[in-house]
Structure 1
Amino acid sequence: MQSAKKKLVIKVTAGAEAPERCSQAFTVAAVAAASGVEVSLWLTGESAWFALPGRAAEFELPHAAPLQDLLESVTASGTITLCTQCAARRDITEADVLEGVRIAGAQVFVSEVMADDARSLVY
């Protein structure tokens, strides 16, 4: 009997102001996605800016994989969600975000992390 596929929900709150923490979240998400894990990456706080075209390409951290590459890896096989309130505080709308990024709120986040097959991390 096969075991149910696990889902990893990652909430990243850090952006360019905390580059190592930010990069860690994206790296873990990309590695999990590449390993076949179902990934849901939530962009909250300052990481909300990475939902916009070109923003991940501007991010730099020595000895780290390019954030743009990590984001594309997660987008290819996982879900990327921009927090509703975080988007509103930054005047970001659905028309502004990268293709494949959804905007959703706390109710959806809680539903994902409370699922029996889910594990979660917060950065």
Structure 2
Amino acid sequence: MTGRAGPRPSPGIDYDSAMAKKLVIKVTAGADAPERCSQAFTVAAVAAASGVEVSLWLTGESAWFALPGRAAEFALPHAAPLPELIEAIMAGGGVTLCTQCAARRDITEGQVIEGVRIAGAQVFVSEIMADGAQALVY
């Protein structure tokens, strides 16, 4: 075992080959459910820092965090600051804002943080169905 977090592979399986090639995380919670929100961003940032390709999808109330300054308004005791987590995620992967969630909140491409893309369900399904991808929903 190389010290990485996660489930142990079955005996006889190389640990590195058992690791997901890509982790797709869909976060639906924002300030309305701060612990769930923070958990999603923390898991994504830790995975990215561990060398896993990460794709974080902002949906529902988390859509607001695609806007500049909004993550800085989020606070949860004993949790890493959201702007730092987002920076770590973007360094090791990508952040996507759900098309419908953006539209419902009147968020446009010109308003989002540089590097955040807006995409829909077809792209999400394509990512989670890719060979070696694992998906989590918060």
TM-score (structure 1 length as normaliser) = 0.96
| Unpaired runs of at least 5, structure 2 | 1-15
| Unpaired runs of at least 5, structure 1 | none
Partner residue of 1:76 out of 91, 94, 100: 91
Structural mapping, 1:43-58, within 5 Å? 43-58=58-73
CA RMSD between the two structures:
1.4
Distance 1:73 1:117 in 2: 22
Distance 2:132 2:51 in 1: 14
Determine what percentage of the aligned residue pairs are the same residue. Answer: 83
Distance 2:23 2:92 in 1: 12
Partner residue of 1:36 out of 45, 48, 51: 51
Kept in 1, the 8 Å contact 2:48–2:93? The answer is yes
Partner residue of 1:102 out of 78, 103, 117: 117
Q: Which residue of 2 aligns with 1:89?
A: 104
TM-score (structure 2 length as normaliser) = 0.86
Q: Give the number of the structure whose alpha-carbon radius of gyration is greater.
A: 2
Which residue identity is paired with 2:107?
Answer: I
Q: How far did residue 77 of structure 1 move?
A: 1.7
Which residue identity is paired with 1:76?
Answer: A
Moved over 6 A (4+): none
Which residue identity is paired with 1:100?
Answer: G
Distance 1:37 1:109 in 2: 18
Partner residue of 1:62 out of 59, 74, 77: 77
3-state SS of the aligned residue for 1:95? helix
Identify the structure with bigger relative contact order (alpha carbons < 8 Å, sequence gap 6+): 1
Q: How far did residue 117 of structure 1 move?
A: 1.1
Q: How far did residue 5 of structure 1 move?
A: 6.1
Distance 1:78 1:115 in 2: 15
Kept in 1, the 8 Å contact 2:29–2:61? The answer is yes
